[in-house]
Amino acid sequence: MARRAAVVLAACVTASSALLAHPSSALAGGVSPITASPADRKRAQARYEEGTKLYEAHRYADAQKAFQESYDIVASPNSHLMMARSMREQNQLVSAYEELERTENEARQLAAADPAKYSGTVDKAIIDREALRKRIGLVTVRARSEVSVTVAGRVVPAERLARPVPVTPGRVEIVGTADDGRRATRFVNVGAGSAQDVDLDVSAQPVAALAPTAGSSEPPPEVPVEPDDGKERRTSLIPFAVISGGLGVIALGVGIGFGVAQESIYDKIADCDSEPGKCVPRRPGYDENEKNRGSSWQTIANVSFGVAGGLGAITAALVAIELTRTPSSDGATGRLPVPQLSVGWQQVGVSGAF
């Protein structure tokens, strides 16, 4: 009997040490399973069984709450294991990994007093944690003990830095802050199932410069000013002149083509208008349809020549403006309104200020 009491006492001391080693675990949890009363065990067991039913029904958030309530009555590693599994099923992978670590540690301590009940819990926690390891990343941060470290926005206690810190895969920010305000920031890309080692040396970071005092004799640093090269920043009209000239050449080519085609038709005609309704062909094969087609081609040729002439005038005007305009006198950017081409029925014009 005395030997049994000694084993129980040793297990209680060891379990208490485990909770101190993991402060986040000590924030929640009931009495030790070794010292729990029968009434506490019964209440905790009822909530555990309710949580199991909810877990099997895939109601993981409700199941986690029930397991937490059971754990708050009696801090059993079995309830802790099911809490971690509920987190995992809700895709809270980082939290689940950390809880599995704590579950394994708790179960190892209590297995000294009740190996039949808690040794299996140790194995389950290890298996679940290793399976989860493939879905998260791990970051090991090396920094001085007096440096406060955050990993992915979470403060990591100094004692926790002795082991790899689980993170969500992706780009992770690690920040170290010394007591004197020096900071060091690192970014690492961590893939699922991979691990990264990060050294944070805040001593290499310069201290922020203080603002000059009222009695300081040093003038403030001068702000560099970009030298003025005297050149205006304005839009050149040459590209518009090139476009206008190119369109004029195309219009001229169209006019020439239809003019030549029209002449080839009228070469067949001796005098189609001397007597209304009659047309004496110079060569066989002429008909009234050719006369009409020739008239249409003549119209197209005339319009094309007109457009070509208008575009030629616009091109000349744009080139003249570009060669003669001067810098603006008000110191502005020197931009001038760009002449706009307007083409309408039987007219071509240029609008804008010159």
Residue 260 is which amino acid? V
Q: Is 146 helix (H, G, I), strand (E, B) or coil?
A: coil
Is-above-0.75 flag for pTM?
no
Phi, psi angle pair for 138, to nearest 5°: -125, 140
Cβ-based neighbour number of residue 6 at 10 Å: 10
CATH assignment, 2-133 = 1.25.40.10
| Domain coordinates in residue numbering, the chain | 2-133, 137-204, 238-351
Check for a shared fold between 2-133 and 137-204: no
73, 112, 195, 315 from 29: Cα distances, Å: 7, 20, 31, 88
Write out the two tokens for 45: 């067991």
Place of tokens 């050449």: 249
pLDDT tens for each residue of the chain, 354 residues long:
444 444 344 444 344 444 333 434 434 578 999 899 999 999 999 999 999 999 999 999 999 999 999 999 999 999 999 999 999 999 999 999 999 999 999 999 998 888 888 999 999 999 999 999 999 999 999 888 788 999 999 999 888 888 899 999 999 999 999 988 899 999 999 999 999 999 888 876 554 443 444 444 445 455 444 444 444 456 777 888 788 778 878 878 877 877 777 667 666 555 555 555 555 555 555 556 766 777 786 788 788 778 878 878 888 887 788 777 655 444 444 444 444 544 444 444 444 433
Interatomic CA distance for residues 102 and 140, integer angstroms:
18
CA distance 189 to 173: 9
- How would DSSP label each residue in 274-308? SSTT--EESSTT--HHHHHHHHHHHHHHHHHHHHH
CATH for 137-204?
2.60.40
